[in-house]
Copies of this chain bind each other. A is one copy, B any other.
Amino acid sequence: MALILALDFGGTKLAAALVKSGCREWLRYESRLSPSNADANTDLEIMRSLIASLLQGTTPTAIGVSFGGPVDATTGTVRLSHHVSGWENLPLKNLLEREFGVHTSVDNDANIAALGEYRFGAGQGYDSLFYITISTGVGGGWILNGKPWQGAGGMAGEIGHMVVDPAGPVCLCGKRGCVERLASGPYMAQNAKNILQSQQESGNILRRLVENDLNLLTGQIISQAASQGDSIAQAVLQKSAWALGVGIGNAANLINPQRFILGGSVTKAGDTWWNILQKTARETALPEVSLEIIPAALGDDAPLWGAVALAEMQSN
């Protein structure tokens, strides 16, 4: 019986799981938070201890790895991590293959999650789909003709840096009005903070929720305040849904996939966010372009299940 080892190097969490190929339940599962001062070596050390605890002396048939940052999937080399230092050009696939002696496949978390949703989640039976995660950042992964599409240089899926409002605020990437700049959790928090600082009399619900410390604002708090009727929170949330809706509509016109699957914390922002998103995407796509946008099914384990799918795909 083939035994798949799935690893998830997230920005803040490390997780590993063992599964029998073909099964849909973990044989064993381990996770640990990445310490705030972690570098690549500490993360690798923690992962080694999780793996030792999982394997208990057995040998897996194949290893699949989800990495939270840009990866050259062909060579399995990490380009960098935006959260943890020391990952620059680290040959993760080679390192794990030397250490464990089995075939290892590595890809970035958005591509992996797309594959996971396609094989085990909301994308089953849909040979063309775009998975988008909307959380601390906004990223995506394509499945086209039933296979991951990473692009010529492994950079496909960057819907987060599609410009949808050239008059919008400046993004970390240097451009104005990127989808991520308007739709991600931290940027929503920043947008709300900017408005609250310039409009001292308004946003009482938001201010109360963070006890007047605007540095405590998060995407989740904005959703909460919006549902309680805070008009600033509602405007910020509306802009997030609008930006992502334009991005999805544009992507539908360009590629016309069967499904868009949305995961990540911001997708839990509630019905209003979803309704504006669906409406804007429908208005942006041409009437002849079919459009189906649904929530992801795999939840927090999506990277691990995607890593299983990747390992199974590569070892078949």
Contact = CB atoms under 8 A, between A and B. Distances in A.
Nearest to A126: B152
Interface string A225-258: 0000000000000000000001001110111111
A286 B167 contact: no
B166 A253 contact: no
Given A166-B164, A289-B153, A254 B159 contact: yes
A128 to B, nearest CB: 5
Given A145-B145, A151-B256, A255-B254, A163 B290 contact: no
A152 B258 contact: yes
Given A128-B152, A155-B286, A173-B286, A162 B254 contact: yes
27 contacts: A149-B255, A151-B257, A151-B289, A152-B256, A152-B258, A153-B256, A153-B288, A154-B256, A155-B253, A155-B256, A155-B289, A155-B290, A156-B256, A158-B253, A158-B254, A158-B256, A158-B286, A159-B254, A162-B253, A162-B254, A163-B284, A164-B166, A166-B246, A175-B284, A251-B254, A254-B254, A254-B255
Contacts of A97: none
Nearest to A142: B255
Nearest to A287: B173
A167 B163 CA distance: 13
B149 A144 contact: yes
B159 A253 contact: yes
Given A145-B145, A149-B144, A163 B164 contact: yes
Q: Please classify how large the interface on chain A is, using the bins under 10, 10 to 19, 20 to 34, 35 or more.
A: 35 or more
Nearest to A246: B163
Contacts of A283: 174-175
A162 B250 contact: yes
Interface in A115-155: 128, 140, 142, 144-145, 149-155
A70 B288 contact: yes
